[in-house]
Amino acid sequence: MRVLGGPEGLRSLTNPKAIIYDRWPALVQTSIPKVLDYPIRSLSSSWEFVSGLTFFLYGEGWRSRLAGLSALIKAARR
């Protein structure tokens, strides 16, 4: 059941976004980074690459991370 009245109802219907601007644009200018493009040619290889990268970065224990690194290298060679 969704409540439409009050602050909770308004909060549930909004999509918050962060807006960032340079405070001193003459001194410091923030650029938008380029699109990250993984060097993968096929859809199945891309899944293996991303899952290997995830296991390598967030795996529990050194064995899981080593298996993720191995999968990452294998997927990058394809």
Number of domains forming the structure of the chain: 1
Q: Establish if 14 belongs to a structural domain.
A: yes
Cα–Cα distance for residue pair 66/64, rounded to 1 Å: 5
What are the tens digits of pLDDT across the range 6-53?
777 777 778 878 887 777 878 877 777 787 776 656 777 788 888 999
How does residue 3 score in pLDDT terms, banded at 50, 70 and 90? Answer: low
- To the nearest 10 degrees (0 to 180), the angle between helices 43-58 and 62-77 is 150
Three-state DSSP class for residue 46: helix
Q: Establish if 70 belongs to a structural domain.
A: yes
Residue 35 domain boundaries: 6-77
Q: Establish if 1 belongs to a structural domain.
A: no
Greatest pairwise CA separation for the chain in angstroms: 56
Residue 62 has pLDDT above 90, yes or no: yes
Question: Between residues 1 and 33, which one has the greater pLDDT?
Answer: 33
* pLDDT at residue number 13: 77
